[in-house]
């Protein structure tokens, strides 16, 4: 690596962190979910809130925002509280852990999941308050569902049994009785012109492709400045590496929430999603070791216990 490379990398990372800090509206709860799934779950799925505050402060998430966000996540069923004297640990609930583990299979896969040829449908039935319809539509959109008209939502591979848990976590449990899940089509017949027409009607693939392209533009310069992988140690401190890893996975996770995971045959040529996945894979592994050093030093329980990583993080993005 040339002597200028660490400076270039540090400047690029500083710009990314500052851009995040300057957002007009930072969704602290969403960022904390990204942190729990990426860093806390492999260490047992629990953490002292003081650790979370310390880890997130450099991203502009102050103590008040963190405490408020964690309280709401507990209220929505993602986390539960376990007191330890005057302190407390926050733990993933069973439902929260199940959802994280399901999401991880998509987030850290080296390839998109395969399609069984069957469409998953959610039909809106009965009378539903018009004020409740738009939040429901947005929540399903962020689960990757496309809309076919006002009362039908479609997805190629969603676990329909998990949809109610996701809606409950979004505060939309009251809408669940109005959703009828259906499994349509038959994989024996393969893809058809009707499938392609459904995709055009249900999803704005141009907007999704642009989101992937923007993601590439955001992280490509950083990845190149840190190449080869050893450059992450030389160019940045452990904290900066951790912050970059957190933002990388946060942005990647939010992209995948919007992506229905369509089969290649139904996607436009030269789809940018796979390029973005390869970029994320390479950059994540370049950041892994020093960011884990930072977590070793600063992520612990209310009683001071530091928990070791219980899984091989090096396997992330290596398999399906």
Are 167 and 296 part of one and the same domain?
Answer: no
For residue 1, pLDDT beyond 50? no
Assess whether 243 and 297 both reside in one domain: yes
Considering the domain architecture, whether residues 30 and 171 belong to the same structural domain is answered as: no
**Measured distance CA(292)–CA(314) in Å, rounded:** 11
pLDDT (tens digit per residue) in 28-65 = 888 999 999 999 999 999 999 999 999 999 999 999 99
Question: Is 191 a domain residue?
Answer: no
Q: Are 309 and 41 in contact (CB under 8 A)?
A: no
Q: Indicate whether 192 belongs to any domain.
A: no
Q: Region 170-182: what's the mean pLDDT? A: 82
Q: What is the CA angle 223-229-230, rounded to 5?
A: 130
CATH of residue 33's domain is 1.10.10.10
Q: What is the mean pLDDT of the chain?
A: 86
Q: How remote is the C-alpha of 309 from its chain's centroid?
A: 20
Q: Is the pLDDT of residue 2 over 50?
A: no
Asked whether residue 195 is assigned to any structural domain, the reply reads no
Both 9 and 123 in a single domain? no
Q: How confident is the model over 63-103, as pLDDT tens digits?
A: 999 999 999 899 888 899 999 888 999 999 988 888 888 88
Q: Check residues 141 and 296 and name the one with the higher pLDDT.
A: 296
Whether 45 is covered by a domain: the verdict is: yes
Do 292 and 158 belong together in one domain?
no
Q: Does 59 share its domain with 91?
A: yes
Residues 169 and 292 in one domain: no
Percent of the chain with pLDDT over 90: 44
Domain with 245, as residue range(s), is 4-110+203-315
Same domain, 152 and 128: yes
Q: Is the pLDDT of residue 133 over 80?
A: yes
- Nearest 5°: phi and psi at 88? -155, 145
How confident is the model over 142-163, as a mean pLDDT?
87
Q: Using alpha carbons only, give the angle 255, 39, 309 rounded to the nearest 5 degrees.
A: 140
Residues 87 and 142 in one domain: no
CA 165, CA 96: separation in Å to the nearest integer? 9
Do both 89 and 213 map to the same domain?
Answer: yes
CATH number of the domain within which 159 lies: 3.30.70
Number of domains making up the chain? 2
pLDDT band with cut points at 50, 70 and 90 for residue 227: low
184, 217, 238: which is the final residue of a domain?
184
Least confident of 22-31, 44-53, 192-201, 206-215: 192-201
d(CA 154, CA 141): 10
Within a domain: residue 320? no
Ranges 140-154, 165-179, 264-278, 293-307: which has the least confidence: 165-179
- Is 198 part of a structural domain of the chain? no
- Where do we find the tokens 């942005």? 251
In this prediction, what percent of the chain has a pLDDT beyond 70?
Answer: 91
Residue whose structure tokens are 């027409």: 197
Q: What is the pLDDT at residue 233?
A: 59
Summarize the confidence of residues 137-155 as an average pLDDT: 87
Q: Could you tell me the two tokens for 291?
A: 């960011």
Give tens-digit pLDDT for 261-312. Answer: 888 888 888 899 999 999 999 999 999 999 999 999 999 999 999 988 988 9
Angstrom distances, CA of residue 299 to CA of 11, 38, 56, 72, 236: 26, 13, 11, 21, 20
Q: Say whether both 171 and 73 belong to one domain.
A: no
- How much is the average pLDDT of 141-166? 86
- Give a yes or no: residue 190 inside a domain: no
| Residue 86 belongs to some domain of the structure | yes
Looking at the structure, tell me whether residues 90 and 39 fall in a common domain.
yes
């Amino acid at each position: 690596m040339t002597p200028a490379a660490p400076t270039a990398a540090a400047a690029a990372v500083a710009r990314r962190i500052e851009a995040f800090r300057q957002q007009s509206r930072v969704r602290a709860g969403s960022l904390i979910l990204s942190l729990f799934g990426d860093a806390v779950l492999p260490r047992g799925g629990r953490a002292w809130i003081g650790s979370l505050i310390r880890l997130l402060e450099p991203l502009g998430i102050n103590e008040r925002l963190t405490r408020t966000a964690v309280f709401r996540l507990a209220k929505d069923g993602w986390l539960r509280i376990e007191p330890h004297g005057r302190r407390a640990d926050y733990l993933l609930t069973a439902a929260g852990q199940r959802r994280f583990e399901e999401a991880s299979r998509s987030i850290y896969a080296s390839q998109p999941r395969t399609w069984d040829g069957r469409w998953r449908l959610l039909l809106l039935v009965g009378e539903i308050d018009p004020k409740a319809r738009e939040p429901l539509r947005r929540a399903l959109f962020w689960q990757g569902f496309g809309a076919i008209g006002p009362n039908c939502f479609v997805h190629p591979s969603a676990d329909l049994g998990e949809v109610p848990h996701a809606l409950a976590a979004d505060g939309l449990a009251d809408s669940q009785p109005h959703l009828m899940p259906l499994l349509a089509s038959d994989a024996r017949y393969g893809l058809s012109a009707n499938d392609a027409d459904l995709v055009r009607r249900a999803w704005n693939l141009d907007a999704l492709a642009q989101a992937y392209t923007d993601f590439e533009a955001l992280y490509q310069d950083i990845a190149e400045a840190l190449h080869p992988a050893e450059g992450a140690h030389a160019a940045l401190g452990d904290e900066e590496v951790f912050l970059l890893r957190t933002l990388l996975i946060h942005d990647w996770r939010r992209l995948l929430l919007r992506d229905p995971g369509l089969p290649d045959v139904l996607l436009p040529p030269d789809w940018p999603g796979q390029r973005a996945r390869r970029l994320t894979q390479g950059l994540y592994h370049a950041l892994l070791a020093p960011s884990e050093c930072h977590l070793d030093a600063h992520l612990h329980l209310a009683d001071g216990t530091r928990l070791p990583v219980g899984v091989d993080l090096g396997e992330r993005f290596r398999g399906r």
